[in-house]
């Protein structure tokens, strides 16, 4: 059985959504980031970058398969179960484009915006302006892509949508005040958020971990 190491954050929820979409039976090991459990020796042996999510699966030869980084985990699960990733061609590589776009761009930029604009007590106007501008640019790229097709990698729901959904939702909830002007011009993003958010597996995945 897969053991998911996670916490109540967008990066963790990408994987619980994927596991719910696949209908797998899995165990959840909460890693309390507030208590700095990500730095425990046990978790460090699984995730040497000390960040959630990570999974431990049983490999075909009985040895454990241990994976950290949400993009690697989503790719592993999609390939293992043959779902949410086209087997070849443009759709497969479009999914990888948007998956990497999320882990290298949307996630880190919205994460920094959240830190400077919401969580930090000290307000640094230059940092807030810089990350608001970059978040707006990234959401505009997403809007453009979704104005031409149902999902990020084409007409089919894929791991690219699963990766982007919890972060785009954070942009429209936790970060909605700072991104108000940007969100007002993103009808396709709103359409996609509703489409993805209505999936029962997405609803279940967003409720993990149950604390």
Ligand X SMILES: N[C@@H](CCC(=O)N[C@@H](CS)C(=O)NCC(=O)O)C(=O)O
Considering only residues 72 through 91, tell me which ones interact with ligand X, judged by CB under 6 A. none
> Cα separation of 195 and 14, whole Å?
16
CB of 94 to ligand X, least distance (A): 19
Is 26 in contact with 73 (CB distance < 8 Å)?
no
CB of 64 to ligand X, least distance (A): 19
Using the rule CB under 6 A, is 195 a contact of ligand X?
A: no
Using the rule CB under 6 A, is 158 a contact of ligand X?
A: no
Using the rule CB under 6 A, is 132 a contact of ligand X?
A: no
Using the rule CB under 6 A, is 51 a contact of ligand X?
A: yes
Is 188 in contact with 176 (CB distance < 8 Å)?
no
* Bridge partner residues of 27 (DSSP): 3
By CB under 6 A, name the one of 4, 19, 46, 52 that touches ligand X: 52
Q: Please state, as a whole number, how many other Cβ atoms lie within 10 Å of the Cβ of residue 201.
A: 16
Consecutive H or E run containing 180: helix 180-183
How many positions of this chain bind ligand X (CB under 6 A)?
Answer: 13
Using the rule CB under 6 A, is 69 a contact of ligand X?
A: yes
Token digits for 8? 């109540």
Token digits for 163? 């990766």
- Using the minimum distance from each CB to ligand X, give the nearer residue, 44 or 185: 44
Q: Which of 85, 87, 25, 36 is nearest to 58 (CA)?
A: 25
- Using the minimum distance from each CB to ligand X, give the nearer residue, 33 or 206: 33
* Helix, strand, or coil (residue 149): coil
Using the rule CB under 6 A, is 37 a contact of ligand X?
A: no
> Cα separation of 199 and 206, whole Å?
11
By CB under 6 A, name the one of 2, 4, 5, 11 that touches ligand X: 11
Using the rule CB under 6 A, is 127 a contact of ligand X?
A: no
Is 82 in contact with 101 (CB distance < 8 Å)?
no
CA dihedral (193, 197, 202, 205) positive or negative: positive
Region from 47-55, 115-123, 144-152, 168-176 binding ligand X, contact rule CB under 6 A: 47-55
By CB under 6 A, name the one of 103, 132, 145, 158 that touches ligand X: 103
CB of 51 to ligand X, least distance (A): 3
By CB under 6 A, name the one of 8, 22, 28, 33 that touches ligand X: 33
Residues at the contact surface with ligand X, assessed by CB under 6 A: 9-11, 33, 38, 50-53, 69-71, 103
């Amino acid at each position: 059985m897969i053991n998911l190491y996670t916490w109540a954050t967008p990066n963790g929820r990408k994987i619980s959504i994927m596991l719910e979409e696949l209908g797998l039976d899995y165990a959840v090991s909460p890693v309390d980031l507030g208590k700095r459990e990500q730095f425990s020796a046990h978790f460090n042996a699984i995730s040497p970058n000390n960040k959630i999510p990570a999974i431990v699966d049983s490999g075909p030869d009985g040895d454990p398969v241990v994976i950290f980084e949400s993009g690697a985990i989503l790719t592993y699960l999609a390939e293992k179960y043959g779902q949410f990733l086209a087997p070849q061609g443009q759709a497969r590589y479009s999914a990888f484009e948007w998956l990497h776009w999320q882990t290298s761009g949307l996630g880190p930029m919205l994460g920094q915006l959240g830190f400077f604009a919401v969580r930090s007590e000290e307000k640094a106007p230059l940092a807030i302006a810089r990350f608001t501008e970059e978040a707006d640019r990234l959401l505009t790229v997403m809007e453009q892509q979704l104005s031409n097709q149902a999902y990020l990698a084409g007409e089919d729901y894929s791991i690219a949508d699963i990766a982007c959904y919890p972060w785009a939702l954070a942009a429209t909830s936790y970060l909605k005040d700072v991104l108000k002007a940007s969100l007002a011009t993103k009808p396709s993003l709103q359409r996609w958020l509703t489409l993805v958010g209505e999936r029962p597996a997405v609803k279940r995945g967003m409720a993990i971990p149950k604390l």
